Amino acid sequence: MKDRKGLKRRVFEIIQIGNKGDLPSQLFDWGITAVILLNITAMFCETFDGLRPLYGAFEVIEAVTVLIFCVEYALRIWTSDLLYPKLSKKRAVLRFLRSFDGVVDLLTILPFFYLSGFIAFRMLRVVRIFHLFRINAQYDSFSVITTVLYEKRNQIFSSLFIILILMFASSIGMYSAEHEAQPGVFKNAFSGLWWSMSTLLTVGYGDIYPVTAIGRIMAIFIAFLGVGAVAIPTGIISAGFVEQYSKKSHSDSVLHDIEEIGEIRVEADSELIGMTVDEIQNEYDTRIYLIFRSGLSVIAADNVVIQAGDILVVHSYKVVKG
């Protein structure tokens, strides 16, 4: 029983945590990434008539990769009680099945067995790419993007709301100005909505355009508004990246050769994430006494893995990067 629990814990660490210091965990992440890309490539190649002689090979590749997805899905269900340790086994399984990763994993597998006859449902296989997001979320480069989007979410939603209002207002205005002149083109407000969307967010497709003087004047102002509307969320996100990299450059050293007790907070892009207490102590010549995690105090045992948001109580003799 003890060996079985140890095996289960080890499987969980490999498939779930993504520890940078754990070679099997890294190999698993990169292996799943390769399988996802291989599966998507096979599905993409199946759409070319010139590759028809290779359809059999593509089907074999798809079947093998889906089998790997099934094994991964089963392992995640098996180890779900370790992912949600406060829940019972059944409730942990249900929690995982309802989670984002659980739904994505299911949509990764389901179309191969039941929905492959429907082209629209076959497109659900593209959600496999979300596995790449889950894998890369553990690494610094992608964590910067997710952090910026999360911190600037209110401003981004506000700017998108402004764009939506502009689209509806311009669509109704253009319909009113052009309906009598082009009843077959601007049939209703939705036709104006399509025109406003293509004008505000791009340079227009040319399939629908105004012919009246008032319509063209409105189109000029709407096109200028579109440039500003696109620039608003772009500027917000750009400013967020500048803030994140500024924080990173100013927080490279959070403890400067102190020889007393201090605290460091592990940020989302910290290189300490995924390392164990023992690895940090050996690499940075540092003694970790206690870890504050989500309002709880965690004993700094050697095998404890550091997570984003942890506050470490340390005694440091060298510079520690947080």
Top CATH class, 153-250:
mainly alpha
pLDDT digits (tens, 9 = 90+) for 180-194: 888 888 888 777 888
| pLDDT, greater one: 296 or 61 | 61
Beta strands, E only, the chain: 261-265, 286-293, 296-299, 311-316
Contact between 208 and 195 under an 8 Å Cβ cutoff? The reply is: yes
pLDDT given at position 322? 47
Which amino acid belongs to residue 158? S
Q: Where are the domains of the chain?
A: 2-138, 153-250, 261-316
Helix 2-12 crosses helix 55-78 at what angle (to 10 degrees)? 120
What is the architecture of the domain spanning 261-316?
2-Layer Sandwich (3.30)
- Provide the pLDDT confidence category of residue 293 given band limits of 50, 70 and 90: confident
**pTM of this prediction exceeds 0.85:** no
pLDDT given at position 94? 92
Q: Which residues of 79-117 are buried (b: 16+ CB within 10 A; e: fewer)?
A: bbbbbbeeeeeeebbeebbeeebbebbebbbebbeebee
* CATH T-level topology, domain 2-138: Four Helix Bundle (Hemerythrin (Met), subunit A) (1.20.120)
pLDDT given at position 143? 66
The whole-number average pLDDT for the span 293-304 is: 81
pLDDT digits (tens, 9 = 90+) for 215-253: 889 888 888 888 887 788 888 888 888 877 766 655 444
pLDDT digits (tens, 9 = 90+) for 118-159: 445 555 556 655 555 555 544 556 667 777 888 888 888 888
- Provide the pLDDT confidence category of residue 16 given band limits of 50, 70 and 90: confident
